[in-house]
Structure 1
Amino acid sequence: MSNNLLKGKRGIIFGALNEMSIAWKVAERAVEEGAVITLTNTPVAVRMGQVSELGEKLNAEIIPADATNVEDLEMVFAKSMEILGGKIDFVLHSIGMSPNVRKKRPYDDLDYDLLNKTLDISAISFHKMIQVAKKMDAIAENGSILALSYVAAQRTLFGYNDMADAKALLESIARSFGYIYGREKGVRINTISQSPTMTTAGSGVKGMESLMDFANRMSPLGNASAEECADYCIVMFSDLTRKVTMQNLYHDGGFSSMGMSLRAMTQYNKSFDEYRNENGDICYG
């Protein structure tokens, strides 16, 4: 259902790849709420993904670009303003990838060249994107910039690897640039810390299905879906959140505030049942 929350607004969505992508869902909801948008991803992702289908569906032009390349980013903002007919009101950064995770390098045996790529793709690209936009004066006053994060920026979760470092940097960039851009142009910059979500990138994290099950048992409201995350993003793009900036906003069903839930404890106790001896004592194999 549309409430016209973004009527008349212009946006750029970075990172839509396929129907599993949160960025894909955000793009659909943004247009549904009255916005006009452009879509951008790497040339390889545009060729190999399904973003062309999304572009046709939403009547949105696709701009192939490498978000780690400043010249490409300048092109994205220049073309988007030309196509959409003015300055940009909202931007979504939904970009993340770890070559170390893909190559199954554990955190205590990282390839540092690959770590640099993780940080550049997943976090520094956010800084480059904002810096380019600011220098080009491409964002309208009181505009909104969002990036997608994860609770591993604050807490250690097995298997999340160097992506945790990237998310911590991402959130720091939002705070540091949020102050500057907010002070000068009223532009607000936030991150959304989403529940574990089975996107193409998320599926590469070791033990992702177990992590999702654990988070769901721990969260009083359960895991937030990609569609629900898209709804939250729309609210953050809208004028309803004009004074929210420099925040990391948890959208995780309450997981980030939990220590132990009844559902998680019940499952934990079930695992012990398999290891009790004839006297009922727990055996720690």
Structure 2
Amino acid sequence: MGYNLLKGKRGIIFGALNDMSIAWKVAELAHAEGATFTLSNTHVACRMGSVTELAQKTGSEVIPADATNLEDLQNVVKTSTEVLGGKIDFVLHSIGMSLNVRKKRVYHDLDYNYLAKTLDISAISFHKLIQTAFKMDAMNEYGSIVALSYVAAQRTLYGYNDMADAKALLESIARSFGYIYGRERKVRVNTISQSPTVTTAGSGVKGIDGLIDFSDRMSPLGNADAEDCAKYCVAMFSDLTRKVTMQNLFHDGGFSSIGMSLRAMKQYNKSFDSDDVQDLY
């Protein structure tokens, strides 16, 4: 059942590839809550993915774009305001990719050209997107711009590699540009630090299954899935959060505040023989 939280609101959703994508779930729920929006992804993703199916389902127009290319971003923003009939109320940046991860380059043996691309695609594209919207004066007052992050921006998590650096930069951009956009145009900029989630992009992270299981055992509420994240995003797009900006908002079942949970400790102790466990005390 919808609540009409986004009735009359216009938006742009970047990053929906298939029904495993968080952006896909956000688009479905935003549509159910009354929003109209455009969808954008890379030219290859638009050809190879299922975004056309999502567009038909939500009555949206697909605008292919390389989010690292300023001309492409200008076209997305311009076309979106024309298609939707006015300024934008919300934007979702759900974009991330690491060639080092894909090529299995470990953090102490990075390819720096790959690192530059990781930062450009996964974080600097966020700055480019916000700057484009700002210069084009494309957002309504109290509009909401949200990017998806992860706790590895603050903590070291094995296997997350240079994506951790990208997420740290992403969150810094939200704070720095959030101050300017809020001061000048009353537009909100935030990041949501989501639980590890099974997506097409996330599946490339080494040991993702173990990471998901570990965080689920650590979190008192368990992991937040893609549908949960979509609900949080919609809340951040809505007027219910008009004064929330420059924040990194943890959406992880409590994982980010836990040192050791009962479930995780029980599993840890199971890994020892009974004699070894006695030696620990």
| TM-score bracket for the superposition, by shorter chain length | over 0.9
Match of 2:198 in 1: 198
Deviation at 1:138, TM superposition (A): 0.6
Identify the residue that residue 225 of structure 2 maps to in structure 1.
225
**Within-5 A mapping of 1:72-87:** 72-87=72-87
CA distance in 1 between counterparts of 2:204 and 2:220 reads 26
Give the residue type in structure 2 aligned to 1:199. Answer: T
Structure 1 position 7 matched with structure 2 position 7 = yes
Q: Distance in 1 between matches of 2:232 and 2:133?
A: 23
In the TM superposition, what are the counterparts of 1:60-75 in structure 2 within 5 Å? Answer: 60-75=60-75
Aligned counterpart, 2:236: 236
Q: Which residue is equivalent to 1:31?
A: 31
Moved beyond 2 Å, runs of 4+: 279-282
- SS of 2:272's equivalent in the other structure is helix
Q: CA deviation at 1:141?
A: 1.1
What is the one-letter code of the residue matched to 1:203? S
Residue 280 of structure 1 and its aligned partner are, at CA, apart by: 5.9
Matched, 1:258 2:258: yes
CA distance in 1, matches of 2:19, 2:222: 21
Q: CA offsets per residue over residues 231-270 of structure 1, 9 Å max, x none? A: 0000000000000000000000000000000000000000
**1:56-205 matches, cutoff 5 A:** 56-205=56-205
Q: 2: distance between equivalents of 1:158 and 1:280? A: 28
- Residue aligned with 2:8, SS: coil
What 5-or-longer segments of structure 1 have no aligned partner? none
1:11 is paired with a residue whose SS is strand
Segments of 5+ residues of structure 2 without an aligned counterpart are: none
Q: Distance in 2 between matches of 1:174 and 1:281?
A: 48
Secondary structure of the structure 1 residue equivalent to 2:63: strand
C-alpha deviation, 1:70, in angstroms:
0.1
| Partner residue, 1:51 | 51
Deviations, residues 173-213 of structure 1 (Å, cap 9, x unaligned): 00000000000110000000000001011000000000000
Counterparts of 1:191 and 1:273, CA distance in 2: 43
Q: 1: CA distance between counterparts of 2:209 and 2:90?
A: 32
CA-CA distance at 1:273 after TM superposition: 2.4
Q: TM-score, normalised by structure 2?
A: 0.98
Partner of 1:249: 249
Q: For residues 50-83 of structure 1, give each alpha carbon's deviation from its aligned partner in whole angstroms, at most 9, with x where no partner exists.
A: 1111001111000000000000000000000000
Number of residue pairs matched by the alignment? 280
Return the letter of the residue paired with 2:229. Answer: C
- Deviation at residue 281 of structure 1 after TM alignment: 4.6
SS in structure 1 at match of 2:31: helix
- Alpha-carbon distance between aligned partners in 1 of 2:178 and 2:92, rounded to the nearest angstrom: 15
Secondary structure of the structure 2 residue equivalent to 1:105: coil
Name 1:212's counterpart in structure 2: 212
Q: Which residue of 1 aligns with 2:269?
A: 269
CA RMSD in angstroms comes to 1.1
Deviations 1:7-28 (A, max 9, x none): 0000000000000000000000
Q: Percent same amino acid at aligned positions?
A: 77
TM-score of the two chains, using structure 1 as the length reference: 0.97
User: Which whole-Å CA distance do the structure 2 matches of 1:108 and 1:236 have between them?
Assistant: 37
